[in-house]
Chains A and B, each alone.
Chain A
Amino acid sequence: MILSIIAYLSIGLFVGISVFKAYQFAKMPFHGRMDLYPVPKEKGFEHGGSYYEETAWWTKPHEVSHMREIVEMLKEILFIKKLFENQRPFWWISYALHLGIYFLMAWTILLVVGGLFEVNGISVTANTSSILGLLVYYVTALTGYFGLALATVGSGLLFLRRAFDNTLKKYTTPQEYFNLLLIFAALVTGIFTWGNDLSFGYAREVTANLVTFTPFSANGLLTLHIFLVGIMLIYIPISKMSHYVGKYFTFHKVLWDNNPNLKGSGVEQEIKKASSFRPSTSWSAPHINPPAAPEK
């Protein structure tokens, strides 16, 4: 029962804190423009240009291609494109970790699905008569193998590279080693826990018990594994490993935000709102006039 609570709580906190963080970034004050080109959404300026290449640009429609933006975003999310293009050796291990995580996310969902299938009488085995059961069985196995292998190798190699690369280790804090070790430890305990049954039948059974709050006997290793995964899920969103949240804002709200301030636009409204704001703090250099007192 406690393990079920840990599982639900950690996933809930992972999602909750991540959403809260995104909300905090989303409600931050309106900021100045910091566009950086190429901006993929610029339709008609695929060479890296913008609507500023036109004369009297404010009289012409600002055409935006959300499709190109989404494609660019997916390349970054699915393949970590910028790292691939600019630092290939590092990409191999970083991508192993990230791809492994994607597989493990799919694996976890499939374990839940498979577990619920079993609970409801649909067999998830290699020789089941249910096509759906068979599909879940094989896809679970593949995502599990790849996920555990890639993520473990990726996190382990990232740790080793940081520890032994003369440049990286100058910039790596003990906390950052801890971050990688925590992921690595959660994965290694997972491999030892689930590795005895490569059909992942045991994993499905445990998952079904966790999801349905069914008491079951857990050995020390399984308890440690669930505990570590729980800690990891709660820790990731409060640490800088939550860059999956930040990355949306850095691209969409900073580097790719080139919406101009035109009459009647939303940007104009934001500017009007921001200009009436009186900060509670002010700068102290002699050339700066203190702003008026904050409004009560």
Chain B
Amino acid sequence: MLNQRDLRPKDMGRSDEQLIKLDNLIPLLAPYDKPGMESPLTDPKPAWKEKFCTSLDGYVGIDTLTRPKSKEEEDEFVRKFLSGLEKIFSDANNGVLQPLLLSFEYCAKCNTCSDACHIYSATGNNEMYRPIFRSEVLRKIVKKYFTTSGKLLGGFVGADIDVNWETIARLGELSYRCNLCRRCAQTCPLGLDNAILSKEIRKIFSQEMGIAPTPLHAKGTMLQIKTGSSTGLSKPAFLDTLEFLEEDTEEKFGIKLKFPVDKKGADILVLHNAGEFMAWPENPVAFAILFDAAGLNWTLSSEIMGYDSVNYGLWYDDYQAKKIALMQMKVAKEFGVKRMVVAECGHAHKASIITGDRMTSDRVPVESCLPLLWDMVRNKQLKLDPSKNNFPVTLHDPCNIVRQMGIVEPQRNILKAIAPQFREMTPHGVDNYCCGGGSGFAIMNYANFPEFRTQVASRVKFNQILGAFKGTMEDVATPKYICAPCSNCKGAMRGILEHYDASEKYNLQYGGLVELMVNALISMKKPFLEFLE
């Protein structure tokens, strides 16, 4: 094992059992700054070492990446990777060729991006997670195999890396140590984007080698294409769920709620992340209450691909991303709605509004729920009493919605109007930090990956939260609410709060934006937020 300070990109080919071990995480803020408040990081189990690639940092990000049983298998693995690597620079990858080549060719290695990365910062500036470390490994392999200068001049131009199973498997794992939040790209003086390179590595593994984390691929996009939802929720089950939620809402709040489904003549088709119906059903319920209160003509769809907004392809596989985006668009077009509104799911925002924007020419317009919700507040379509939310509230900015779409103000305007104790995190807006659950991390829950997500990837975010609630944390009687208008971000928040037992110990709560809005409705006879009861 190397001291991380000595780690160099070409060390990725070394035969060490594990290249580095995380041992210098940044301290957490109060009240988590006392000894014993956090469990130590663990070593991988011997069985995982034998089966998976734990030789990077001890964590398993890709559960389908298993060790070869023979020399032939190893050689085939390397061959396939190199074949995929060549393809990312070919016309098979036209949709990203220009941005990829720019980021690939022009890095001046000034390291300006390093401090922008929350994972690099969280690990006490561990060399392994420096944004250009991964990119540089990729450059070395490309130079070695695919450039004349690399073939002729070798180490002089940086083509000095040993390429074997370990090198490539580690690089694959390392591509899942980046949340693709693109904060590093904001700081690059040349406008380069290391996240593009991380994603290209993921794409080679998936699109060429057929290797991708099960929650993203087999139980993600493949399941969604087959059943209509990555949750596996079938149409009858979806309709049953809605019925149950209607009954439950009436029972709890005395509200006779009726989810409009496949309503002809509706203006708006609302797309939820189907995970909300399973994990946070209060979120789609809150949307329904608000949309009805504002008198919108809206509907849900029960068609396959019409009731789940997710598109995990965005994180690892362009082919899957396009397939899902086009299937979702087809549902909207056949339905004949005037517009689609994406509910509180960050990556679904980006997939359907930004990425999907250039996939087909004939599109139903898509918009975010956030401006629509702000309009309801601004135009006084909702009767709200902010005093019902008189507890500290902070806002997490989902990277996909804020940094990558420019939707910054509507959600803050709403909070300023309905939450008297709203306070910002530092930094916030387009400069926010990722929750640590981005690009699939939030749903990758096998082996020891949740430990990496919660204690490493989410670490800076947890400190931001503790900073925002400074002075109120120890006041257990007062709830502190993290407003995270994104399903994946909520998944990451849930992981943080559970791991640090923060709800139990400090009354730290999390949820979406609409729940807080419904809680402020004058018409609500009792609190909508469960923790207020």
Q: Report A's interface with B, CB cutoff 8 A.
A: 25, 28-39, 42, 45, 47-58, 76, 80-83, 85-87, 90, 94, 166-168, 170-176, 178, 240, 243, 246-247, 249-251, 253-255, 258, 260-261, 267-268, 270-272, 274-275, 277, 279-288
Contact = CB atoms under 8 A, between A and B. Distances in A.
A254 B99 contact: yes
Contacts of B103: 250
A33 B313 CA distance: 15
Contacts of A250: 99, 102-103, 106, 190-193
A173 B182 contact: no
Interface stretch (B42-50, B256-264, B399-407): B399-407
Interface in B113-149: 115-116, 127, 130, 132, 136
A103 B354 CA distance: 42
Given A37-B405, A42-B406, A246-B190, A32 B96 contact: yes
A281 B207 CA distance: 12
Given A52-B353, A55-B375, A287-B210, A83 B189 contact: yes
Interface string B1-35: 00001011100000000000000000000000000
Given A175-B156, A288-B319, A275 B360 contact: yes
B237 interface: no
26 contacts: A32-B358, A35-B405, A35-B406, A36-B186, A37-B406, A42-B406, A49-B406, A50-B407, A52-B407, A56-B339, A86-B189, A87-B111, A87-B115, A167-B127, A171-B9, A175-B157, A246-B105, A247-B191, A250-B192, A254-B98, A260-B357, A271-B358, A279-B91, A281-B87, A285-B207, A287-B210
Contacts of A39: 406
Contact of B406 (A45, A243, A267, A275): A45
Contacts of B91: 29, 277, 279-281
Contacts of A255: 185, 191, 193
Nearest to B83: A284
A82 B187 contact: yes
A28 B101 contact: yes
Contacts of B186: 36
A37 B9 contact: no
B371 interface: yes
B477 interface: no
Contacts of A271: 358-361
Contacts of B90: 279-281
Nearest to A39: B406
B94 A277 contact: yes
Contacts of B182: 36
Given A52-B407, A247-B190, A280-B91, A172 B109 contact: yes
Contacts of B319: 283, 287-288
Nearest to B355: A32
B97 interface: yes
Interface in B352-395: 353-355, 357-361, 363, 365, 367-368, 370-372, 375
A219 B386 CA distance: 83
B288 to A, nearest CB: 19
